[in-house]
Amino acid sequence: MSITAAEVNKLRQQTGSGLMDCKNALTETNGDFEAAIDFLRKKGAKISEKRADREANEGVVIALTNAEGTFGVAVNLSCETDFVAKNESFIAIGKEVAQIALDNKIKSIDDLNASKMGNTTVGERLINEVGNIGEKIGVSKFGFLEGEGVVSYIHMGYRMGVLVQTNKSLNDAITLGAKDAAMQIAAMAPVAVDESGVSSDRIQRELEIGAELARNEGKPEAMIEKISQGRLKKFYQENTLLAQSFVKDGNLTVGAYLKTIDKDLTVVAFKRVTLGS
């Protein structure tokens, strides 16, 4: 029998499956809508539906940059178990999805899911893979950077990806310095590049915490403001990238280390994408 586009679209909207999968299901079931839903569920849609509320805190993070070093992506393809995360075929899917994001200069998860992947889209391919893998999977986190010089770093067996953007075009020395900065970011989890990148809400929070600690220590009220400002300065030193002590040489800050490579070199942005919620 002839299957109409409207029927295919209706089935797609209800199940989230791809157009061709919906058309095939309706064809296989002679246009029986409920039977077609059952057909799709047996192929994976049912598993996807059952697992919609499951935690998917395992997976891989793939970080890539283009050959010019001007654009990079970090993609977290999540799953439920470490067993699946370590499977070579799952890792290969993660790499393929990240490469699609890089090649198309994707800048959001929605755009990535809508991008072409073979004869389907990334989102539809991942729904279909649920049936093969047996777990909830999907792109759960995404980051990108675009600028003068962008490097990528993958940490701990695909468990974290870092992108670093410098203010200068890449050469061997600058690339090495940016990689060191990326490893610092992976290890020390700074909240911003420098104090100018810390939100006003976070600053106010740190000042309030500092003041409360000082009061709890019995400090005179007249000294509270000065003490809380001092603690804020320490917060910047410990939690902003350029002010942090460089893990490879504790005698330098990260900012000072970069200037040993080029007196004007600095990091202007970074993305740190990790597994988990």
pLDDT digits (tens, 9 = 90+) for 10-62: 777 666 677 788 888 899 889 888 788 777 766 655 435 444 445 678 999 99
Instruction: Name the DSSP letter for residue 249.
Output: E
- Give me the residues paired with residue 139 across strands: 77
Stretch 7-11: mean pLDDT: 79
Per the document, the length of the chain is: 277
- With contact defined as beta carbons under 8 Å apart, do 100 and 106 qualify? yes
Instruction: Provide the mean pLDDT of the chain.
Output: 90
pLDDT digits (tens, 9 = 90+) for 171-223: 999 999 999 999 999 999 999 999 999 999 999 989 999 998 899 889 999 99
Residue whose pair of structure tokens reads 């809400």 in the numeric block: 201
162 confidence band (pLDDT: 50, 70, 90): very high
- Give me the residues paired with residue 63 across strands: 74
pLDDT higher than threshold 90 for residue 169: yes
- With contact defined as beta carbons under 8 Å apart, do 192 and 241 qualify? yes
pLDDT higher than threshold 60 for residue 226: yes
* CA–CA gap between residue 43 and residue 195 (Å, rounded): 51
Residue whose pair of structure tokens reads 């310095």 in the numeric block: 177
Least confident of 109-118, 126-135, 139-148, 211-220: 126-135
232 against 55, higher pLDDT: 232
pLDDT digits (tens, 9 = 90+) for 49-107: 444 445 678 999 999 999 999 999 999 999 999 999 999 999 999 999 999 999 999 99
Give first-to-last CA distance, the chain, whole Å: 47
- With contact defined as beta carbons under 8 Å apart, do 143 and 64 qualify? no
Contacts 24+ apart (CB under 8 A), 93-101: 93/125, 93/126, 93/129, 94/59, 94/60, 94/62, 94/158, 95/62, 97/62, 97/122, 97/126, 97/139, 98/62, 98/63, 98/64, 98/73, 98/74, 99/64, 101/64, 101/73, 101/75, 101/142, 101/144
Q: CA angle, corner 84, sides to 41 and 182, nearest 5?
A: 125
pLDDT digits (tens, 9 = 90+) for 233-262: 999 999 999 999 999 999 999 999 999 999
